[in-house]
Amino acid sequence: MAPDRAPDEAPPAKRARADAPDAEADDIQDAEYWSQRAQDAVRSAPVRRDMYLDTIDRRVLDFDFEKVCSVSLSNVHVYACLVCGKYFQGRGKQTHAYFHAIDESHHVFLNLDSGRVYVLPDNYEVEDASLSDIQYQLRLPFSEQQIARLDSPDAPVARDLRAQVYVPGFVGLNNLGHSDAMNVVVQALAHVPPLRDYFLRGGSPSTQRTDAAHEPLAHSTELVRRFGMLVRRLWNPRAFKSQVSPHEFLQEVTQASQGRFSLTDAVDPVDFLGWLLNRLHRDLVGASRVRDGRSVVTECFQGALRLESQKVIVRTGLEDDAPDKLDHDGRLASGQQDENGRATFNIEKAIQVDQVPFLLLAVDLPPLPVFQDVVAENIIPQVPIAQVLAKYDGISIQEAQGRIRRHHLTRLPPYVILHYRRFTRNQFVEERNKTLVQFPTRGLDWQPYVEGPTVQNSHVYNLLANITHEATAGTVRENSVWRSQVHTGSDRWFQMQDLHVDQVNPQMLFLGESYVQIWERVGAADTLRARIDALPPPRRRRT
């Protein structure tokens, strides 16, 4: 116990010395190593016994959850009990943390804002090097050396406190009810190198980082901060446990989307992905600069296409002349249909031309045959990816909402997000297209779909992430299962479904119903580095 002192006398801070670990070793050792080293340090110095450091249980610590008091649900002045892992408010007398220390004899508490450690109810601060591994979990700073090694072919594996081996960046996410669709989106985005590195650096330019603790994103919106922390937890090389809970981030998603995306209702990954990218961009540049502002989101994913459209001219049935029986709606006579019945533009009529920016490219799958025999029903059709990408070749024509349209890509982004439209809805039911798309994992040439001159390899892309869907046979979305497939720097592919992480054969990826894909331009990470470093500082949140 602490020595007696006058009631108004401030308790002295207790300090203990410990040799600082080597900086390079600090980068490569995992949580198991540092936990054992901390326990050895506590046992080796009898003077520390009165600070209760030997009562700390790292196995129960979990900083993934929202930082609110477990009793009052307040998010102000919250402390974590390092003995049981629960969160409590305050540390003074008459606070929940104070009563917990007395009732349960749990004495060591961590301030979840400052990272300082206190002993209660005596209320004095403890500064000890053996606590550095716990304080590291609270902030998760990444050095430039650590970031540079994330995608290297020889990136080391890690071990958690239970000696379970895991690969940083390839860990499971807890399914918090109906968060599986949101989990796969987070997993895919966390493997886009420029986006990942931006959040690991806290928004600081790589060329100006003198202190890993300097993070402009710390003053951004709550959604930006929590997304950045979730990315850090996924890539944490010294994690106490080899899985991550997205609870804190998804709670903010529910609030920011005003309940549109919640943990109680199933969502569509494309809807969530589109909302998340647009919201992150708006929070980073400010609402007044959404259209013309530059952010890491637009630098990575924003491209442009030329959209030509013309209103369909349809016969009303009130004309005096007798209609052609082969031209029942008048399109042939109006010049909007060729002799083979295919839609075409009438060059004598006005054609509207728009330059449209995009973050996602949607492609349509060929419709399934309406009438099938018993044998054909068991055969799943397959199409090459070139067939669905032909929508953007500037020649193919589509018709929708009373207009005929033609698309041609004018600028491809460094990272192309491709959405396969598998779900269609008419006025009666929703249908699911199970057509499989054949695609390579490396060397996809987008040149046929982009207008203008080309530079060598500027339109060659490799597959970065693949999100697939699976449901009960004969249904549309019943028992839907979403999986995210991503690869390491050594081109090992992993498939993640909530907490399940399995290595998969890249040659078998196309056998799943691909729903969303992210394609990376060859050399994109290197060419984007200077542009992202030149981005303006993120907008500070209003206080």
Strand partners, 24: none
Per-residue pLDDT tens over the stretch 168-213: 999 999 999 899 999 999 999 999 999 999 999 988 787 666 565 5
Q: Is residue 8 part of a domain?
A: no
User: Is residue 379 domain-shared with residue 503, that is, in the same domain?
Assistant: yes
Q: What is the mean pLDDT of the chain?
A: 84
d(CA 344, CA 335): 7
Q: Is residue 94 part of a domain?
A: yes
Range of the domain at 327: 296-529
Give the pLDDT score at 452.
76
User: Is residue 323 domain-shared with residue 239, that is, in the same domain?
Assistant: no
Q: Report the DSSP pairing between strands 423-425 and 78-81.
A: unpaired
Q: Is residue 537 part of a domain?
A: no
Confidence of residue 5 (pLDDT cuts 50, 70, 90): very low
d(CA 423, CA 261): 19
pLDDT at position 294 over 50: yes
Give the pLDDT score at 318.
46
The order of strands in the sheet holding 393-400 is 352-358, 303-311, 403-411, 393-400
Per-residue pLDDT tens over the stretch 94-136: 999 999 999 999 999 999 999 999 999 999 999 888 899 999 9
Q: Is residue 419 part of a domain?
A: yes
Give the pLDDT score at 290.
82
d(CA 215, CA 199): 9
pLDDT at position 489 over 70: yes
Q: Is residue 539 part of a domain?
A: no
User: Is residue 227 domain-shared with residue 131, that is, in the same domain?
Assistant: no
pLDDT at position 479 over 50: yes
- Scored b (16 or more CB within 10 A) or e, 333-372 reads ebebbeeeeebebbeeeeeeeeeeebbebebebeeeeeee
Confidence of residue 322 (pLDDT cuts 50, 70, 90): very low
Q: Is residue 9 part of a domain?
A: no
User: Is residue 278 domain-shared with residue 318, that is, in the same domain?
Assistant: no
Give the pLDDT score at 478.
85
- For the chain, report the end-to-end CA distance as a whole number of angstroms: 42
User: Is residue 201 domain-shared with residue 279, that is, in the same domain?
Assistant: yes
Q: Which residue has the tokens 């009666």?
A: 428
- 176, 246 contact by CB (below 8 A): yes
Burial, 66: exposed, middle or buried (Cβ in 10 Å; 0-12, 13-18, 19+)?
middle
User: Is residue 164 domain-shared with residue 21, that is, in the same domain?
Assistant: no
Q: How far is residue 63 from each of residues 87, 229, 240, measured CA to CA in Å?
A: 10, 10, 10
Confidence of residue 454 (pLDDT cuts 50, 70, 90): low
Span 87-94, average pLDDT: 93
- 465, 517 contact by CB (below 8 A): yes
Span 344-351, average pLDDT: 73
Among 242-246, 291-295, 313-317, name the one with the lowest average pLDDT.
313-317
Total structural domains in the chain?
3
**Is residue 118 classed as helix, strand or coil in its secondary structure?**
strand
Last residue of a domain, one of 116, 138, 160: 138
Per-residue pLDDT tens over the stretch 227-266: 999 999 999 999 999 999 999 999 999 999 999 999 989 9
Q: Is residue 239 part of a domain?
A: yes
User: Is residue 394 domain-shared with residue 493, that is, in the same domain?
Assistant: yes
Among 176-180, 417-421, 450-454, 518-522, name the one with the lowest average pLDDT.
450-454
Alpha carbon 445 to its chain centroid, in Å, reads: 26
Q: Is residue 538 part of a domain?
A: no
Bigger pLDDT: 453 or 175? Answer: 175
CATH number at residue 48: 3.30.40.10
Among 3-17, 134-148, 265-279, 458-472, name the one with the lowest average pLDDT.
3-17
Give the pLDDT score at 494.
96
Last residue of a domain, one of 264, 294, 324: 294
CATH number at residue 455: 3.90.70.10
Confidence of residue 491 (pLDDT cuts 50, 70, 90): confident
Last residue of a domain, one of 105, 138, 171: 138
pLDDT at position 15 over 90: no
